[in-house]
Amino acid sequence: MAKVMVLGGGFGGLAAAHELRSRLDSEHEILLVAADDRFFVGYAKLWDLVGTRPLAQGTARLGALDAKGIRFVNARITAIDPTRRAIETSAGPFDADYMIVALGAGRGRGKLGAADHGAFDLYDPDRLPAMRSELEHLDAGRVVIAVLGTPYVCPPAPYEAAFLVEEYLRRRGLRDRVEVVVATPMPSPLPMAGPDVDQLVASGLAGQGIDLRTGLQTAKIDTDAKSASFADGTTLDYALLLGIPSAVPPTVIADSPLAGEDGWVWPDPGTGRTVFDGVYAVGDCTAVESLPRAGVFAEALGRAAATSIAAEIDGGTTTPYDGAGYCFLEFNGRRAAALEGEFFNKPKPILRMAEPDTDTYARKEAFEAERLHTWLAWTHPA
């Protein structure tokens, strides 16, 4: 009997655990350890913020894994020893024959510091009620959606947030009194995707009167004065600032031998295999070629890692990841576009994005429902 331990219950960990369960006989144990017993897709936070749907209605519980033959341990991992494939956790030590590390990225708050009113970490699910309340009470001024540093998780998210916040304000009849600005340190909205995609995003933002400011590196956020200043001398006063945190390596990984010099894990791009025997790493906690940090890539590499492990245990075929994938970008009016392509193509990725439409929005809704339902037996709220 073999034991496989999956660290993390996000996209990468859940995809890997289910792939393993579907390939391995029940005599082999699969254990999944995660600090948070919830799973929701990232964009469900934006839907909560603008009143599309409360986050709780798009949240599934990892406790549902046990009924699927995957043992769930709800515990915080405090140390990882990849040479022994062993971990220390708040629920005691665990070890295994194989280990898949899928712990996601930490959130770097940059110049936001400890601010928790007026200026927020947009990705912090626990602060959504406060963000929503401040948005609801807004009746004049400026909303600044600011990328606080790079890299960050889900490159399209700042623009999605801008479209959704703008639409929310317009619905409330406030658009002539509230300005919406999206500020990024990058030279264009999605530089990796090329000029056509950049143009599509920039013209979409301009069409909604959203002020796109590129090349703005946040230098200071003065939460008393409600003012953000940038390295080039630009200052933006705000009524509400929604900051996109930078992606930082989780401390427990950065403190372990798994980490490269920059704190991220650098696994094989096709299999997630690391230099440690039987240890794989997938998802946002890794640095993999030109892959953005997004759920689809975490799950694709998670599945590939699972096929490699299952093949080692029981034989069978492996399916390495080829770098094909897509990310959704939601526009206003229940429309979305998919940024898709071949991310491992050399010398650079080949990416494309069609005009946003309602069919792609429906695909985005289905993407969420499929994962919540298949992985965690979630049913659509009535």
Q: Which of 185, 189, 249, 283 binds ligand FAD (CB under 6 A)?
A: 283
Nearer to ligand FAD, 123 or 280 (CB): 123
Supply the minimum distance, in Å, between the C-beta of residue 106 and ligand FAD: 8
- The reply to whether 109 sits near ligand FAD by the rule CB under 6 A is no
Rg (C-alpha) for the chain, rounded Å, is 21
Nearer to ligand FAD, 102 or 216 (CB): 102
Supply the minimum distance, in Å, between the C-beta of residue 251 and ligand FAD: 8
- The reply to whether 18 sits near ligand FAD by the rule CB under 6 A is no
Write the CA distances from 324 to 112, 270, 296, 340, integer angstroms: 35, 11, 10, 8
Binding mask 160-199 for ligand FAD (x = CB under 6 A): ----------------------------------------
| Total residues interacting with ligand FAD, rule: CB under 6 A | 34
- The reply to whether 8 sits near ligand FAD by the rule CB under 6 A is yes
CA 338/CA 353 separation, integer angstroms: 6
Binding mask 129-158 for ligand FAD (x = CB under 6 A): ------------------------xx--x-
- The reply to whether 53 sits near ligand FAD by the rule CB under 6 A is no
Supply the minimum distance, in Å, between the C-beta of residue 80 and ligand FAD: 9
- The reply to whether 281 sits near ligand FAD by the rule CB under 6 A is no
Residues 190-208: b if buried by 16+ CB within 10 A, e if exposed: bebbbeebbebbbebbeeb
Q: Which of 77, 183, 313, 338 binds ligand FAD (CB under 6 A)?
A: 77
Nearer to ligand FAD, 226 or 246 (CB): 246
CA 130/CA 311 separation, integer angstroms: 48
* Phi (first) and psi of residue 137, to 5 degrees: -90, 0
Q: Which of 2, 12, 101, 306 binds ligand FAD (CB under 6 A)?
A: 12
Site for ligand FAD in 303-362 (CB under 6 A): 327-328
- The reply to whether 245 sits near ligand FAD by the rule CB under 6 A is no
CA 197/CA 350 separation, integer angstroms: 12
Candidate ranges 101-109, 111-119, 135-143, 200-208; the one touching ligand FAD (CB under 6 A): 101-109
Q: Which of 2, 103, 145, 183 binds ligand FAD (CB under 6 A)?
A: 103
Candidate ranges 201-209, 264-272, 292-300, 373-381; the one touching ligand FAD (CB under 6 A): 292-300
- The reply to whether 248 sits near ligand FAD by the rule CB under 6 A is no
| Count of beta carbons in the 10 Å neighbourhood of residue 110 | 19
Helix-helix angle 11-23:295-314, to 10 degrees: 30
Q: Where do contacts with ligand FAD occur on this chain (CB under 6 A)?
A: 8-13, 33-36, 42-43, 45-46, 76-77, 102-104, 123, 153-154, 157, 250, 252, 283-284, 293-296, 298, 327-328
